[in-house]
A and B are shown apart, each in its own frame.
Chain A
Amino acid sequence: MNAHQSLAIGQPLETLEAISPAAVEADAMVRFAGISKTYPAYRGKPGVNALQDIDFAIPRGSITGVIGRSGAGKSSLVRLINGLEKPTTGHVIVDNREISALAGRELRLAQRSIGMIFQHFNLLSSRTAADNIALPLEIAGWTKADIKTRVAELLALVGIADKHDRYPSELSGGQKQRVGIARALATRPSVLLSDEATSALDPQTTRAILDLLANINRELGVTIVLITHEMSVVRQLAKDVVVLDAGHVVESGHVADIFTHPRHPITQSFLAEAIGDSLPVSLQSRIVAEPPVGGQAVIRVQVRGAGAGDTLVARLAREFGLDVALLSARIDEIGGQHVGSLVLGIPLGIPGGEGAVTRTLAWLSQYQFSAERLGYVA
């Protein structure tokens, strides 16, 4: 438990807003207030507390990532937004309407302004691409002529105008998801929910689909909620992020802030996956605990922030007159901020070499770099 987490859990909405700039916007598209969701015990299976003390808001027009491991409550959360499930306690407000209080026809009308895309696309195999896109319009009672015009527009929007008469079995994964996106946008929703929409796609196709979603957000102003277990998806697309773990929101805020200074272990593990925090195998195997004569001390420096670390090696070398070796480095960009680590070798060869290491660490901490000594190499 850390300070941030204990703040985020079980606090009234106002407190959370104070720490989450994303939620401050008065005009939130989606707002969760005091949500919990419990699935009762059934046929010998114990009950499950899927979500607890959920209080946060998704700003209008934003792209917000909801990231968590499987079983963290992501699916329950997204099904609360589109009214497929009701919260056990609390309120879900979407586009100024309390969706959790609606039922029957009213709920179905409200659902037309909430689009959703799925990991496995969920297209009807008996309908062509065009007819799949037409389905929500038929359900909403549009006329044939209006449907025809709208479907043509949507096919063009998602870049598959030539696939009009193709059946899903004749389309690639990426094309299927484009049909899924067009279908989700058919009734001009204000929110688009993406439930692991790229998890079944290869990296290249994933990138293309995420670019398409970014375009849609920019051009149509649709608020996008990305449910995912993949850090790379959040990093590429989202500006705001909510980290879910075991039914709780453990961190939320701007992607750059959260991932440059992850506080909760689950956030840190997502970050480690994304930037790869492990050392190269050949280096790892050479590291020893005792300083060998003429060897180097291995230190790892965390790099966080814009431009941080750009000139670090050169400055170190200049400051101490050392031949600093760059043993390994990984720097990535998340929300415009540099995130990663440098693994440096500080030579011990000269008399008093250990002193150079101590001075280097002191110097680094003076400049707010977090650094640790991993050991020594010969």
Chain B
Amino acid sequence: MSPELINLIIQATGESLYMVGIAALLGTAFGLPLGVFLATSRKDELFSAPAVNRVLGIVVNATRSTPFIILVVAIIPFTRLIAGTSIGSTAAIVPLVIASTPFIARLVEAAIREVDGGLIETASSFGASPIQIVLKVLIPEALPGLVLALTLAVVSLLGYSAMVGAVGGGGLGDLGIRYGYQRFMPEMMLAVVVVLIALVQLVQSAGDYLARRLNRRLRHR
């Protein structure tokens, strides 16, 4: 493979990491509180607001059931409003965040719901405020689950990021389609796939390791 092609791969890897990294950060920033709220706002729960819970649940489901490639083009006006442009890696981050936020929220909700309800009652019984319960009980107790959830989200984002080539987002997926498929360069396709596999392995192993480390002190019965 020529140095030019190798440079293309390095550049595309950089773009993918940029998009996925920022999207994961923002997706977590929005998805974590949303997930915590979803997990604590049913009737008689910590932030009991059943109506809001139901509406948010519907919005989350709707976003998650929209195919990502349709979401990308459907929100182009919104993307332009936020990023100032609708093409390029930075613009691609907008649909990635919009797609990953409800996904992360659902994973966070599931992880938070795993925490023993008795602990909420315990903390309430010694006068903890709802915010203190979230910060000192729910999130620390759910941490191993949250780490695994975020790992899963990053891996999914890598997959989504392959589709933003449609709006000139660049990245590995785009490179694979344009060079590997449209220009008949199977070695390029192979290289892209190998890099993606390596990235996914790396992310998953790191996530597993971290979750295990957090978990080991918790449960080695």
List A residues at the B interface (Cβ < 8 Å). 42, 82, 84, 105, 107-112, 114-116, 118, 120, 122, 124-127, 135-136, 138-140, 167, 169-170, 183-184, 186-187
Contacts and interface: CB of A to CB of B under 8 A. Distances in A.
A116 B218 contact: no
Give the secondary structure class of B's interface.
helix
Contact of A111 (B127, B137, B220): B127
Given A124-B140, A125-B218, A126-B218, 20 more contacts: A42-B43, A84-B124, A84-B125, A105-B129, A109-B127, A111-B125, A111-B127, A115-B126, A116-B122, A122-B116, A126-B140, A126-B141, A135-B123, A135-B136, A136-B127, A138-B136, A140-B127, A167-B217, A169-B219, A187-B126
Contacts of A107: 127
B218 A136 contact: no
A122 B126 contact: no
Interface string B186-221: 000000000000000000000000000010011111
B125 to A, nearest CB: 5
B119 A124 contact: yes
A183 B123 CA distance: 11
B45 interface: no
Given A111-B127, A169-B220, A139 B132 contact: yes
A337 B221 CA distance: 44
B141 A124 contact: yes
A122 B127 contact: no
B219 A125 contact: yes
A138 B126 CA distance: 11
Interface in B100-155: 116, 118-119, 121-129, 132, 136-137, 140-141, 143
Contacts of B118: 118, 120, 122
Given A109-B127, A111-B126, A115-B126, A124 B121 contact: no
B129 A108 contact: yes
Contacts of B214: 126
B86 to A, nearest CB: 44
15 contacts: A42-B43, A105-B129, A107-B127, A108-B129, A111-B127, A115-B126, A116-B126, A122-B116, A126-B218, A136-B126, A136-B128, A139-B123, A139-B127, A183-B126, A187-B126
A112 B125 contact: no
A112 B124 contact: no
Contacts of A127: 140
A47 to B, nearest CB: 15
How many interface residues does chain B have, given as a range? Answer: 20 to 34
Contacts of A167: 217-218
Nearest to B118: A122
Interface in B168-199: none
B220 to A, nearest CB: 6
What are the 8 tightest A-B residue pairs by CB atom distance, in nearest-first order?
Answer: A111-B127, A108-B127, A122-B122, A136-B126, A125-B218, A126-B140, A122-B118, A139-B128
Nearest to A137: B126
A107 B125 CA distance: 10
A42 B43 CA distance: 11
Given A116-B126, A122-B121, A124-B119, A139 B221 contact: no
A105 B214 CA distance: 33
B136 A114 contact: no
A84 B128 CA distance: 12
B147 to A, nearest CB: 12
Contact of B125 (A116, A138, A169): A116
A226 B128 CA distance: 23
Contacts of A120: 118
Contacts of A84: 121, 124-125
A140 to B, nearest CB: 7
Contacts of B126: 111-112, 115-116, 135-136, 139, 183-184, 186-187
Contacts of B119: 122, 124
Contacts of A136: 126-128
B125 A114 contact: yes
A147 to B, nearest CB: 13
B145 to A, nearest CB: 11
A110 B119 CA distance: 19
B108 to A, nearest CB: 16
Nearest to B137: A124
Contact of B143 (A112, A116, A126): A126
From A120, A122, A136, A169, name the one whose CB has the most chain B CB atoms within 10 angstroms: A122
Contacts of B43: 42
Contacts of B141: 124-126
Given A125-B218, A126-B141, A169-B221, A118 B122 contact: yes
Given A127-B140, A138-B136, A169 B218 contact: yes
